Structure 1
Amino acid sequence: MRVDRLDETLIFESQDKELFLSCFQEPRKLPEYIEKEILKLVFDSLKLDINGNDDVTLLIKRLPTPFINKVIFDVESMFSDEMSLYSDGVHESAALYLGRHLSYLMYYLPVNVFKVWKPLVDLQVKDKLKWKMRILDIGTGPGSVAVGIMEYYRMMAEAFPYLNFVLSFVLLDGQREFLTIAKRLINSLTAYMPPNLFVSIEESICRTLDSPEDISVSGEFDLITMSNFLTINEMRNSQNAVAIVSALKDSLKKDGSVIIIENGIKNNCLSFKTIRNDLVNQGVYNVYSPCNGIWQPKKEYSCTCFNMVRCFWEIPLIYKFLRDHGLKKGGRYDVPFNYAILRKDGKTKYRAEGNNRFYVQLKDLREYIDRTVNVKAIIRTVIDRGDKISVSLCDGSMDLGIDDDSSAVWIEPVDKEWLVKKGLNLPIVAAEKITLKKVKVIAHGTFVVIPRLRMQGSTEIEIEY
C-alpha cells in the first residue's frame, strides 16, 4: 500500500487488497485489552481497587453482585421503558441513560465496535481513506465508533508498518458522563496501538443537537460519523435529522464522507431510509454506498426496503459472564445493522454500467422464468444458514417497501463449499457488486409469481470488492 502524494489517500497495490480483505474471513474478535480497559474503567467509577495483573475473567468475577444485577436489568429494560421516562420533562436522551452509562458501556460498546468496519472497507477499496484523518464523531456515547476506527487503523498499521497513520477525533455528545467515559477509554487504548499509529482527541464537546443551530465546530473533517444517533429512541434527533445532517455538509471536506450507522431493528430501518432519501432527493448529498444503481446513476431514492448488513463476531467474555448470570440478550453471533455513506462530490462506490445488452434487469426477471440469464446487482443482504447461504439482490430497477422483503430477488440457498470451488474464497458480504452468468430463473410462490435465481453447474460468479 502507498500514499497518494496529491490527495493523501491510501492506495492498494498488487495483492494488497486481497491480503487485507482476507483478514475478514474469520468472525471479528474483540481484543481482550478492550474488555480489560472497559472493566478497569468500571472498577474506577465504582471506586473499587483493581489488580492490574488480573485478566478479564478474574476482573469481571470481582464485580459486586448488585452491580451485575443492575447491568442485566438495565440492558434488558433500557429501550423498552423509554417512553415512560420522557414524561417527566427531562430531555429524552438524558432520561433514557440516567444512571445507566456504565451498563451501556459494558453491553453496547462491544456490540457496536465492528459495525464501522464495513463502511470503512467500502471507502478503502476505492481509495477513499487517508493516512491522516480528522474525524467528527456525533453522538459519541461511550466511544464505540472511535474505538472501532482505532481498531481498523491498528490492523492497517500492523499490516503496513512502513506507513504512518494519524487519527484526530472531535467528540460530540449531549451526555457529559458518556464523554468522560469515551475520553478515558480512547486515551487508555492508545497504549495498545502500534508505534506508527498516532491517536489523539482534539476536542470533546458536550452539546445536545436539537437543531442545525446547535452545530458549532471549527474546521472541516475528512469523516463525520453518527451511530445510533438518528434512531427512534433518540426522538428529537430523529425528528430533526434531515436538517441536522444537512447542516453538517459545511463541516465536511470536499472529498470527505458522512457515515451513518443504525441498528437492525425494522422501525429504525424505515426511519433511517426515509431520512437518507430526503437528504439525497433534496440535493444535499449523494449516496456513495451501499445502494448504487447498476444500470444508471441513482439521483433520487424512494426505496425503504428492510435489509440488513451483518458482521459476525465471537461472543466477548463480558457477554458470556452476563449471560451466565441471567442476561437473556447477547447470544447472537451475527450483529445486524444498517448504514449509509454520504458524500457531496458525486463519487460512488460503483459506477453505473450503462450497457446492459447481455444482462437482464431484476425488474424484468418474470419474463425469463425457466430460462438462463446473466445478472449484475448489489448484494442487499446475506443470511448465513450454516453450510449454506441465502443472498438477496438489488440493481436499482425495483423500489421495495419496508414489508416487501419476500418480493425481492433472492438467490436460492447455495452450499458454501460449492462457492469455494467456484473460486470465492472471501466471504460474501452485503453492499458488494456481484455478477452472475448462466444463472437460472425459477418461479417462486403460489398466487403471485416471484422470480428466484438458481445456481447451476455452469454458473459463473464474480464479486467486485
Structure 2
Amino acid sequence: MTRPSDPLLLSPEEIKKQEIFFSSPRVPRRLERLIEEYIGRKTGKAWDDRVVLDRIRAAVIAQKGRYWARGRDRKISYEKGYDVLAYLGYHAPVYLVQTELLLHRLVKNGLLPRHLRVLDVGCGPGVVSAAVVDYFGRLDGPTAEVAALDLSEENLEAYTAIVGPYAEHKGVVSVNEPLLADLRHPPEDALSGQFDLIVFSNVLNELQGLGPEEKADLVARYAGLLSSEGSVLLVEPAEKATSTGLREVQCALVEKELTVYAPCTYLWDAPCKPERCWTFEGGPEVRPPRLMEALASGREGYRFKNTDIKVSYAVLRTDGLTRWGTVARPGKVVRLGVLSSHVGRQVNLCAARMSGEIGDEKRHVVKVCDGTTKKPVYAVLPGYARNKGNEYLLAAEYGDLLLFRNAKVKYNKDEDTYSVIVGKKTKVTPLGGGDMP
C-alpha cells in the first residue's frame, strides 16, 4: 500500500484560497467567457440571443426527458450542437465545482502527487479537465497533465475551444489533444500509462446495454493504466437509479480485487452485497453563471436553474489502501446485517455515516452502514432526545465512523428498512481516524 512519494501538500495560503472558492463557488469568469464565446462562434449569434436561449432551453428539456426515461427509451447522447450547449449551460457549473471538491479531498488525503497525470474518460465538453485546471490554478508550484477521450465530435470541438484556452490562461496544466474514441474500445496504444488519477464522471450510467459486471470489467481495464500509487474516481448523479447503480459497479469491482478507499468502509472485512444502496452527499450551493441566469429568466425559469450539489462517488485503488486502514472494533458490537435478530433490543454497534441530514429538527435521520447491510439502515435521533452524549451523530461528516452504545433496533415494515433509535441514554462517539468525508 503506497501513497505518492512526492505528495501534493497545500500551504496555509493555498488552503485558504481553496476554502474561499468553496465558500461561495462559481464558474470562474474567464471560463464563463470562453463558454459564451464558443456559443457565439457555434451559433453565429450572441450567446444571449433570444433564439439561441430558446433553443438551449428546448435542448435542456429534451435532455431531462431522456435522462429520466428507463429501458430502451433512455438514450443519452450529445451528438447535436445544442445538446452540448445545453450541457454547458445547465450541468457544467455544478459538475465543475463538485469535481473540484472531490479533488480537494483527494489532496487532503495525500492521494495525489505534486505533479499529477489525469485521464478524463468520457470527457464530454471538458468539465472534469477544466476543474483540474481551475483547482491547480489556485496553487503555487504543483502542475498537472490531462489526457481525455470521448466518442462525440461535438463534445471534443467544445473541449478544444474551452479547456485548451483556459489551461493556457492558467499556465500550470498541460492539456493534451483529446482523443476521439469509443471509451469501451479505445485504439490500442492510444493511451499510455501511468496515470495518477482516472476519472469516470457521469459516464457509466449512460453506457447502454452494459450491466454492472460489464461496467466493472471496463473500469478494471482502465485501472491497468494506473501508476502504483494511483486512484480511480467514479462519479454519478445522486438520483436513485444512477446512485444505486454506482454501488453495484463498486461491488463488482471489489470482486475483481480493487479496493474501495472511500466513502464506504467494510468494517467487518466482508464483501458488501446490499439489496439497495442509495447514498450520496451534498455540497455548497453554486452561484449561477450569466448563461444559466439568462436561461432561467423566462417562463418556468426554475426548470433551468441547477445549483445544488448532490453527488455519489467512489474512490478505488489497486494496492489495498483504504481511508481508515485497519479499524479496531470494540467488543460486543452487532453487525448491521443481523439486525433482524435484535429488533426491539438495545444494542451496541459501529457504522459509517453515509448521508447528510434526511430528517428535520424534530426527527434527525441519517443513513448508516458497516458493509454488512442487506437492507437500508437509518440512525434516528428524535429532537427531544438530543444531548451532548449523542449529538456527534449530527456533527460527523459523510463517511465518518461512529460507535453507538445503547441504541434500540426497530424494523419499518412499510419501507422494509431498519432504524437504530438514538435515545437520551444512547452514546455516539467517533471510531477510528481518517480524513476524507
TM-score normalized with structure 1 length: 0.76
The residue identity in structure 1 corresponding to 2:6 is: E
| Percentage of matched positions with identical amino acids | 20
* Deviation of the 1:185 alpha carbon: 1.7
* Structure 2 CA distance for aligned equivalents of residues 10 and 358 of structure 1: 40
Write out per-residue CA displacement over residues 133-181 of structure 1, whole angstroms, 9 at most, x where no aligned residue: 11110111111111222333334x1xxx4xx111101110111221121
Write out per-residue CA displacement over residues 88-130 of structure 1, whole angstroms, 9 at most, x where no aligned residue: xxxx665764642222222121121122245434433331111
Check whether the contact 1:222–1:257 (CA below 8 A) recurs between aligned residues: yes
**1:40–1:152 Cα change, 3 Å:** same
1:322 equivalent among 290, 295, 316: 295
Check whether the contact 1:166–1:198 (CA below 8 A) recurs between aligned residues: yes
* Deviation of the 1:436 alpha carbon: 4.4
DSSP-derived class of the 1:254 partner: strand
Write out per-residue CA displacement over residues 234-265 of structure 1, whole angstroms, 9 at most, x where no aligned residue: 31566842332121122111111111111122
Aligned to 1:52: none
* Structure 1 CA distance for aligned equivalents of residues 244 and 326 of structure 2: 26
* Structure 2 CA distance for aligned equivalents of residues 414 and 31 of structure 1: 41
DSSP-derived class of the 1:141 partner: coil
- Aligned ranges 1:96-115 → 2 under 5 Å: 97=80, 99-115=82-98
* Structure 2 CA distance for aligned equivalents of residues 286 and 107 of structure 1: 34
2:266 equivalent among 276, 293, 304: 293
* Structure 2 CA distance for aligned equivalents of residues 387 and 130 of structure 1: 42
DSSP-derived class of the 2:265 partner: coil
2:145 is the alignment partner of 1:168: yes
Aligned to 1:185: 162
* Deviation of the 1:302 alpha carbon: 4.9
2:399 is the alignment partner of 1:412: no
* Structure 1 CA distance for aligned equivalents of residues 381 and 267 of structure 2: 21
The residue identity in structure 1 corresponding to 2:354 is: R
Where does structure 1 lack aligned partners over 5 or more consecutive residues?
50-59, 401-406
2:422 is the alignment partner of 1:454: yes
Check whether the contact 1:443–1:451 (CA below 8 A) recurs between aligned residues: yes
2:49 equivalent among 61, 64, 75: 64
Write out per-residue CA displacement over residues 307-346 of structure 1, whole angstroms, 9 at most, x where no aligned residue: 2222231341333332221344344653222111111111
* Deviation of the 1:48 alpha carbon: 4.2
The residue identity in structure 2 corresponding to 1:132 is: H
* Deviation of the 1:75 alpha carbon: 0.5
Q: Which moved more, 1:130-139 or 1:114-123?
A: 114-123
DSSP-derived class of the 1:100 partner: helix
Aligned to 2:5: 7
Aligned to 1:404: none
**1:287–1:301 Cα change, 3 Å:** farther
DSSP-derived class of the 1:383 partner: coil
* Structure 1 CA distance for aligned equivalents of residues 189 and 211 of structure 2: 16
Check whether the contact 1:414–1:455 (CA below 8 A) recurs between aligned residues: no
2:53 is the alignment partner of 1:78: no
2:128 is the alignment partner of 1:130: no
- Aligned ranges 1:210-289 → 2 under 5 Å: 210-211=184-185, 216-231=190-205, 233-236=206-209, 240-283=214-257, 285-289=258-262
**1:440–1:385 Cα change, 3 Å:** closer
Check whether the contact 1:138–1:225 (CA below 8 A) recurs between aligned residues: yes
* Structure 2 CA distance for aligned equivalents of residues 182 and 459 of structure 1: 51
**1:18–1:198 Cα change, 3 Å:** closer
Check whether the contact 1:183–1:201 (CA below 8 A) recurs between aligned residues: no
The residue identity in structure 2 corresponding to 1:311 is: G
**1:375–1:45 Cα change, 3 Å:** same
DSSP-derived class of the 1:136 partner: strand
* Structure 1 CA distance for aligned equivalents of residues 408 and 307 of structure 2: 32
Aligned to 1:44: 41
Q: CA RMSD in A?
A: 4.1
**1:413–1:115 Cα change, 3 Å:** farther
2:372 is the alignment partner of 1:397: yes
- Aligned ranges 1:308-347 → 2 under 5 Å: 308-317=280-289, 318-326=291-299, 327-331=301-305, 333-347=307-321
Q: Which moved more, 1:26-35 or 1:133-142?
A: 26-35
**1:414–1:74 Cα change, 3 Å:** farther
The residue identity in structure 1 corresponding to 2:160 is: K
DSSP-derived class of the 2:355 partner: strand
**1:45–1:26 Cα change, 3 Å:** same
* Structure 1 CA distance for aligned equivalents of residues 260 and 161 of structure 2: 34
Check whether the contact 1:209–1:215 (CA below 8 A) recurs between aligned residues: no
2:204 is the alignment partner of 1:204: no
Q: Which moved more, 1:385-394 or 1:136-145?
A: 385-394
Aligned to 2:277: 305
DSSP-derived class of the 1:73 partner: helix
DSSP-derived class of the 1:329 partner: helix
Write out per-residue CA displacement over residues 382-422 of structure 1, whole angstroms, 9 at most, x where no aligned residue: 1366768642111113133xxxxxx412233669x989x97
TM-score normalized with structure 2 length: 0.80
